[in-house]
Structure 1
């Protein structure tokens, strides 16, 4: 249960009021640290230098297997008292190899650190195991914990923005607790294109619940060699998350990480004021042949509704962890509380996470443990559509009348009233996710692992709407209560055997296993009206009138069994081979095609290890690798291969007009559908120059997805409400992934710089019988959809009319092809087929929401305790459909671009006359804008206190920092943000009034005891 303090929602109205509690916590941590026996203590001192003889400040020096440590001063000198003459000192510093040096009773002990050129021996997490980075044949990118926690966000996937080539991460909304849309190497399906997430071995649909402080590393698997071990779920890429673990024989360490900050809307839309609005509204009525409704001299600035709905809002996070272990037990405990109020009023999010990762040694050959996370969150959403309502709200109105009543703001509705009457909504979620595992070593080279993953989720929501009247369009005559509960049960059981052996020049790893997974979801909801009052004690269904009751209940489930095999072989540290095959059987498919087989092969050549390369001193590393494989996508819905019958299909029959309850067939079965299969090839090389100061990876990839499921129209007389699906479409993605990093240290100063860049060319190759276009997205004034998918072009490209300017006079209208009936001041649409008319056949491709280039770069520097880091990300070549500007069914407010409208011949050739709807609001390039942007994702300045000073307080590390997130964005897009995420691949890139992205400034601390 959460304490009343944590449940206090007013906590978010300012900085965390816990300075006293934090001081108490630190005091307890200080008193609880184990003291070291002084019976045989030895004090030793010395200096740490680099290979050039220069001193190295800030080197961490730790007595092995204890928490007794220090840090070198500005001249590289140190002094430490160890527990015995036989103690071992561990010297570590970023960019240098870690060294262990026995004290051997010496009172003077100097050390020289060697630059770390062994990054190739770094261990990287792969599916069902780990591998040396030097042995990898697949395209895998890794992000470590320090890069994840540096970004103050509750969402782990946002840490991947601009950090991993081939990966596009887009925020779905700026709302507190909102998720992201992740695309790995483009969009390869017309259905769900989300990647598979794996957390400590548990296969999941998303990782929005994760506490970033729990994460040790994130690996992104991009090519078939890396993802084929996940078979039917690897086509959209795989993101593996490994959480932090304790260590055996390690003294207890307590960590505290906390920050508090302020958020504000990063960019606002330029809207007209009240006087400008009346000018435009009067002109609009005159254009319609009506009398102007306003006296323009009566109005001034009026109400800025963006000021009304937006606010500066606090964001707070505190994380307390403990890690350590004995000879037979290791543990890592983390408790995190995150609270974020939204920049839109009446929206907030709080989350409490407790993670416990333990490992136990039953013997040298038997280990077992668990990685468990328990999450509670509470979210309040802003009134539905309030951002779009405020965008359209008329500035001539005040929120309230002089008598205190809400102003009738027909046609848009009153945002102030929406906040008052539509704010009683809360969503609670309880989740337990993790795994239990056991490892058994046998016959010298074999390891058996059994892993049971679990994911239990319970959500409940309650929405109360009181009785109110503002206007005929904004009223509720009967109060109502809506209650909804849903639960998810997801379990995974995996059993694998690994053979691993090294001998002579050979290194062999063989993996075989069998897995099974079962998923079940059920939802139950109800509504009643006419509650006897509005007190929260009455917000239950039983309080409403029984005659008004409605309810709903639905469920879905699926299960899978899989067999997997992989072999990794390395010869002479030069020649690499990987072969993988996985067989999946899923309940989502009919018996005829229930099983799918997904193989892959890959090879690598470490050219730098060849004898003929040894004279190239500049070249530190060079590896060539290539892969090919088939992977699948099973995200197609649970019942595509089975007939669907829906209940509650009721009708009145007979002379007595009796209501008869029944069911109806809503979708026909297609038992012959099969897996969507992606054939992927990748060729890449990795290199290191100047003792690996400069490292890089370059990949060229080709992905072709076949047998994509699409719906096929059938005659209405068949009696099915939904069209059946068939395997028909094909999509191709190809492009380049580039990663470059430079790292160097010169005495007290160290710096690094990195850049990633990815291109993608998305092409539809086949749509099925007839190859008819698939339309989606927003609807234009004439009912035409704004997105189209056809052979030879990208998925979901924008499709409409090209404008050639504005008709300046009647003669130009009469002598030009027209759609009719145009008048001077209307947009000119291009007659693209040259038939003398403008109709739907003249629509053309207006751009794609898929970027041509995804990029990011970062740099960091440190000097004598100070550190500075900055991260940038962006896209190029993508378009955004500004549909909120197009949606116009009445005289809403105007953006300031309307001030440059056409008012007579020669006044404007870009902005048409003022109208509501009609010709000028067709789907056209008027509403298509450039979505390219460059954003300063995060910048952070920190200072780590001198270890000599911290030793007085038995503190191992203490750092303070100031950070800014989304401080500026360079873009031509006129909306709140060019980040427009969404899961619908056929209609993405539409801005219907997205919740704005926040600019955040944080002050934080990080400490270890």
Structure 2
């Protein structure tokens, strides 16, 4: 063989020998399961030292070809311990992945970054998607209820699409701007109503100043961080889920029927009030109206969800869509919501990663304005409408408003909400450990609403229309430079941020009355009205912020976090524009000390402490400037002149409201993480409160803002997560939390008290702010039973009794915010079955049941009784007067006052909030997909002494129930398929 031929053979051998060896490798297959023998889809399997790899399919199976016998495979999955397994001579490798020490390895969002839960020095609560994935959640805020200690979530209405009240560690401000800051994927959001709950990966609640101070001026009321789901490596996965829900009124008032009502009317007002012929018709049921029955219905909801996700090592994507069609439990009320989300992540180069997120939503609520109190207070002994004219009749005995059924059938109101949220991020890896994140976000919200009032709603009614358009725009730019370095046992993370944001809003309101031709009805026909009016407003505000944070830990044993943020707001003037918000936290994990090495009970025993200052700029744009309002007037002739008056006064000295927060906490993890406990004591002191003062009209009227007063919240939080059972087949996880908050007004800048006279038509002021008492304190006449003639007796300030009290006799008798809140969630899985049960409770608060007052009153707006007990257990009806629960309705001395503690009730409750059962059908049965069926029930029962429909719901300030729309009982059936 010639030298040239020999060289060719050698080159060929060198070039192709590696491929020959590779081709002779083994094909390795297997299945990856969790410790409870559940298949794990999406597990990454990589040949160590190479980029060759795959991911497990939906059944946990994987196949890799050409694997050398001496190779090592790396198995990794979020929340599981990464494993390295030598192949050897095996062709089948089945892997059981163990979870990280439960909870401690979990990564949580902390604002402008993430960290392991075990490394936290501040107070953060986290709710994972697994705690609600099989529950038919319609509102994201409901996810937090009872699941995050220190977070109070109150339903203000059971109406589809209604908002909720969220408080983190109590109410901090007297101008009612105590809502937390919402951050969705790093961008400030005005709320969560436009998001699909199925898109949520996790929710973190930042509570103490160490966690919230990084949000400075907007962090005083707590921060809620929402992280949406993202695509994962692996083949395309398509999930389709459909559910149908059936809702009914959870509780009904026991009302008089038409015959009982007519009989009572004759007894009290005279026997000739209702003619005998009508009485017989009411008695035999040929006439009469059951208002609760006619105004309510079985609500049907249909929910459809589709998501598509997948990707490879370089790029990942997730696209989801949701359609919700929900009928309310009141007639003609409906919610339709459409949403679309796309999340894309791409590693463009080894030093640049791009991500983009887009969320669009459209919501439509039809006929959402319902006041059940008026409906159930309407007379059952009446005709519905005049059949000749088609005009609905008004209550002939009770002048409380238009026919409630007529307003649903003849009128309409439509409320639309359009949302567009977009943000993009460029992540630059500058050098090892140093990254720069540049993020831009844009939020668009448009809320047009249209209403029409027909002349058919009541005799002599004037028809009319109203169109309103509310628009808000928000831009945010965040530049985040982060340096992470480990030097021996020292771990340092330093963050520097420059952030700017801008908000604009516009409001246009146009209305018209006395339409010339009601047959020509449309959203745009206000020009058909004889009388027209319009108003509009505009605002533009901006914030600039500089942020710095350093997190340090030594051996995972000692922790230190320091944060500083400076915010400049356009709402303030001059030197008051900037607010400065520092915080610091320290922690010590005793379980990592050498003297704990010989024990295996505690995996964590961490002591935490923090202090910091956060701010509140909760005033309207231009509030510190002097504002003029225009009005027209006539002088001498019929000509109208335009004049201006001072609506608000310039207050250039108004500055940031500040909250000083203190926190001491303990974190324990025992029994290899099978039980985790957290305890926190906290104090929040809000000083220089932003408060709007009104100027009496005799001094020219108007208003102005001041920094006035101080409010304090002190409380404790406790939570425990435990696994009473954890075997290869059965897992039982239980999560319990409890929170206590004591709220107190400390100072009102020299004022002895401030009355809330918003609902003075019920007899006078009902709530008061006074140093030494909590916000939401009730200020009522103390009711002391009946006199010898059956009239209501009230206690005067000097202790004597009277039937005619005065304002000086009112006293502080209760408060409307819960002191204690509880949540208990249990999740059990066995083979292909899983079940969960969730209970929440609250205690230490009251509700002023003005609905019951309206159903029993003989004075004020409501002038007759419809509640059964008010008649049959009233003074005039019972033989033994000691058994009377309601006063005499025939005694002219009987005084009914809504601002009396006769209507104040203990509203403590315990609710079975959700119970669900799910079954995953084996793959061999459904060949083409993974399928799960589930059934669940919401608001199954409530234990309470409250006599209203729902102790949780109120619709006026802190604890006033004025016909609040109740939360319904719902049964839901769900099917989920994954391809």
Query: TM-score with structure 1 length normalisation?
Result: 0.87
The residue that corresponds to 1:651 in the other structure is 633
Q: Which runs of 5+ in 1 are unaligned?
A: 1-37, 73-78, 810-823
Q: Does the aligned pair in 2 maintain the 1:68–1:82 contact within 8 Å?
A: no
Structure 1 distance, partners of 2:90, 2:328, is 59
1:625 Cα deviation after fit: 0.5
1:428 Cα deviation after fit: 2.1
The residue that corresponds to 1:1003 in the other structure is 973
The residue that corresponds to 1:310 in the other structure is 296
The residue that corresponds to 1:965 in the other structure is 938
Cα RMSD after superposing both structures = 2.8
1:608 Cα deviation after fit: 0.6
The residue that corresponds to 1:272 in the other structure is 256
1:854 aligns with one of 813, 818, 821: 821
Pair 1:939-2:939 in alignment: no
1:486 Cα deviation after fit: 2.1
Matches within 5 A, 1:321-720: 321-382=307-368, 384-400=369-385, 405=390, 406-410=392-396, 411-412=399-400, 413-423=402-412, 425-468=413-456, 470-472=458-460, 475-476=461-462, 479-529=463-513, 531=515, 533-534=517-518, 538-541=522-525, 543-545=527-529, 548-647=531-630, 649-653=631-635, 655-714=636-695, 716=697, 718-719=699-700
1:592 Cα deviation after fit: 3.4
Structure 1 distance, partners of 2:344, 2:96, is 36
Pair 1:202-2:187 in alignment: yes
Structure 1 distance, partners of 2:758, 2:217, is 28
Structure 2 distance, partners of 1:41, 1:318, is 45
Q: Does the aligned pair in 2 maintain the 1:121–1:134 contact within 8 Å?
A: yes
1:890 Cα deviation after fit: 4.3
1:643 Cα deviation after fit: 1.2
The residue that corresponds to 2:904 in the other structure is 928
1:284 aligns with one of 245, 252, 268: 268
Structure 2 distance, partners of 1:130, 1:44, is 35
Q: Secondary structure at the match of 2:851?
A: helix
Matches within 5 A, 1:145-294: 145-191=129-175, 192-247=177-232, 249-285=233-269, 293=274
1:561 Cα deviation after fit: 0.9
The residue that corresponds to 1:885 in the other structure is 852
Query: TM-score with structure 2 length normalisation?
Result: 0.89
Residue-by-residue CA offset, 1:934-984 (whole Å, 9 max, x unaligned): 11111110001224545x42x3x32110111111111111222112255x7
Q: Secondary structure at the match of 1:620?
A: strand
Call closer, same or farther: CA 1:294–1:913 in 2, change over 3 Å: farther
Residue-by-residue CA offset, 1:522-566 (whole Å, 9 max, x unaligned): 111323345564456754236514x53322111122111111111
Q: Does the aligned pair in 2 maintain the 1:938–1:964 contact within 8 Å?
A: yes
Q: Does the aligned pair in 2 maintain the 1:860–1:868 contact within 8 Å?
A: yes
Q: Secondary structure at the match of 1:612?
A: helix
Residue-by-residue CA offset, 1:913-954 (whole Å, 9 max, x unaligned): 22699613252111111111111111110001224545x42x
Structure 1 distance, partners of 2:194, 2:617, is 23
Call closer, same or farther: CA 1:892–1:166 in 2, change over 3 Å: same
Call closer, same or farther: CA 1:917–1:558 in 2, change over 3 Å: farther
Q: Secondary structure at the match of 1:468?
A: helix
Pair 1:793-2:793 in alignment: no
1:283 Cα deviation after fit: 3.6
Residue-by-residue CA offset, 1:497-541 (whole Å, 9 max, x unaligned): 111111200110111121111111111132334556445675423
1:713 Cα deviation after fit: 4.9
1:589 Cα deviation after fit: 1.3
Call closer, same or farther: CA 1:389–1:612 in 2, change over 3 Å: same
Q: Does the aligned pair in 1 maintain the 2:411–2:457 contact within 8 Å?
A: no
Residue-pair matches, total: 926
Q: Which runs of 5+ in 2 are unaligned?
A: 1-22, 46-52
Q: Does the aligned pair in 1 maintain the 2:134–2:918 contact within 8 Å?
A: no
1:113 Cα deviation after fit: 4.7
2:115 aligns with one of 126, 131, 140: 131
Q: Does the aligned pair in 2 maintain the 1:912–1:920 contact within 8 Å?
A: no
Call closer, same or farther: CA 1:541–1:606 in 2, change over 3 Å: same
Q: Secondary structure at the match of 1:232?
A: helix
Q: Does the aligned pair in 1 maintain the 2:824–2:838 contact within 8 Å?
A: yes
Call closer, same or farther: CA 1:508–1:890 in 2, change over 3 Å: closer
Call closer, same or farther: CA 1:793–1:254 in 2, change over 3 Å: same
Q: Secondary structure at the match of 1:975?
A: coil
1:179 Cα deviation after fit: 1.5
Q: Does the aligned pair in 2 maintain the 1:593–1:674 contact within 8 Å?
A: yes
1:335 Cα deviation after fit: 1.0
